[in-house]
Amino acid sequence: MNINEIRKDFKILADPAYVYFDNAATSQRPEQVLEAMDAFSRTMNANPLRGLYEWSIKATDAYEDARAKTAAFVGADDPSEIVFVRNATEALNLVAFSYGLEFLKEGDEILITVMEHHSNILPWQMVCRKTGAVLKFIEPKEDGTITEEMLKEAVTEKTKLIGMGLVSNVLGVRNPVEKAAELVHKNGGVIVVDGAQSAPHMKTDVKAYGADFFSFSGHKMLGPMGIGGLYARHDLLEKMPPFLSGGEMIEYVKRDSATYAEVPHKFEAGTVNASGAVGLAAAIEYLENIGFDAIEEQEKKVTKIVYEGLKSLPHVHVYGNPDPEKHSGIVTFNIDGCHPHDISSVLDTEHIAIRAGHHCAQPLMEFMQEKLSMEFRATARASMYFYNTEEEAERFVEAVSKVRGWLGF
């Protein structure tokens, strides 16, 4: 992988003054993605799945090709197992509102980890309120690890759904979803794997995970905002009721009833985000051309510099696994006496972009504050992607070493 060649594909990265280390929030888009979306709008824009004329047929083909590419990308058997949604949040809500409300009942247990993103917490709180199911949390060790033993202890015979991020957006740790899947399947339950943070960084294989559902966002993996995917086993999609209803998801509509379109269209009400799907497909193609081996190798190099650099600084606390290779490009830290928002603000004056705050994971922040005696209920987070360089990592560490000085210490 030639990093200099790759960076030419990302015009926004052209100015070397800027270091973008907020990739876990959203990634940048290469020209190939922008061009593919542009070409859709310029040469075939029409409402897909409806029109009986050339442009609409082309638009339909482009949209369905994107679905096939996405299905192959996650390791699904069949394109019909991919539902296009706006983002991982919508995917998780779809599962909660459709599967959760229909199939969970009073006394069932939903098990999630305390490190979930709010989008993998709130939908399950809703399901519990409406069905009488009970929401339970599994807490990791201080370095973020969840072991098989911890899982076995947490899963009871009542556990009917497990929600688990494959990679934590705060700690970067990879969770043992395979083991969790095995345990919940013994109960006849399902596992919802949130891949928002994993799909950009590692090869996805829903079969190997044992995932019944898998959610991800296009914009975190070089695609545009507003398109994401839900993988779901075909037999589950068949028996699940629609989430949203209206146009494009029906077969017959009478005055007082309707029958639904076949899977996955049953779950894609209204005009779809076809140019977004085309952009996502171009992003997938881009990632596959580089290959996840090369992607991981570059990320590990950069992450190691950031992790070890920050570790060596006085007054800096780095969280998560002691092995930087187990961080999926994410390094979360704090500096004594400095609120993460102040850290991010002063780094911004150096044109360095990182995230600071609770990272949409407040239960994890509360857990970390208790277990690790964090000064504030918040952290700073640098998150790297394959287009980041070792020079950027060094510049970042250098800047962090000055933060306490800038904040008056």
Listed in sequence order, the DSSP H helices in 87-166 are: 88-94, 101-103, 122-131, 148-154
Smallest gap from Cβ 340 to other proteins, in A, equals: 8
Smallest gap from Cβ 369 to other proteins, in A, equals: 9
Among 100, 123, 226, 357, binds other proteins (CB under 8 A): 357
Spatial separation of the C-alpha atoms in residues 56 and 45, rounded to whole Å: 7
Q: Which stretch binds other proteins (CB under 8 A): 45-53, 162-170, 207-215, 401-409?
A: 401-409
Smallest gap from Cβ 358 to other proteins, in A, equals: 7
* Catalytic residue flag (residue 360): yes
Say which residue the tokens 């780095």 belong to.
Answer: 318
Listed in sequence order, the DSSP H helices in 44-170 are: 54-74, 88-94, 101-103, 122-131, 148-154
Q: For residues 227 and 277, is the Cβ–Cβ distance under 8 A?
A: yes
- Which tokens in the block code for residue 207? 């079969």
Among 358, 385, 388, 400, binds other proteins (CB under 8 A): 358
- Calculate ∠ Cα 31-32-36, nearest 5°: 115
Say which residue the tokens 């972009």 belong to.
Answer: 353
Among 188, 314, 322, 408, binds other proteins (CB under 8 A): 408
Question: With respect to other proteins, which residue has the nearer C-beta, 311 or 339?
Answer: 339
Among 37, 354, 378, 382, binds other proteins (CB under 8 A): 378
136 makes contact with other proteins (CB under 8 A): no
Spatial separation of the C-alpha atoms in residues 210 and 160, rounded to whole Å: 15
Among 55, 103, 137, 376, binds other proteins (CB under 8 A): 376
**Per rule CB under 8 A, count of chain residues that contact other proteins:** 21
Q: Write the burial class of residue 137 (CB in 10 Å: 0-12 exposed, 13-18 middle, 19+ buried).
A: middle
C-alpha pair distances (Å), 279 with each of 25, 73, 213, 270, 291? 18, 14, 23, 19, 18
Q: Which stretch binds other proteins (CB under 8 A): 41-49, 68-76, 272-280, 376-384?
A: 376-384
Among 377, 390, 394, 401, binds other proteins (CB under 8 A): 377
Q: Which stretch binds other proteins (CB under 8 A): 109-117, 141-149, 324-332, 333-341?
A: 333-341
Question: With respect to other proteins, which residue has the nearer C-beta, 128 or 338?
Answer: 338
The amino acid at residue 153 is: E
Site for other proteins in 335-354 (CB under 8 A): 337-342, 345-346, 348-349
Spatial separation of the C-alpha atoms in residues 376 and 364, rounded to whole Å: 13
List residues near other proteins by CB under 8 A. 337-342, 345-346, 348-349, 357-358, 365, 375-378, 406-409
Active-site residue numbers?
360
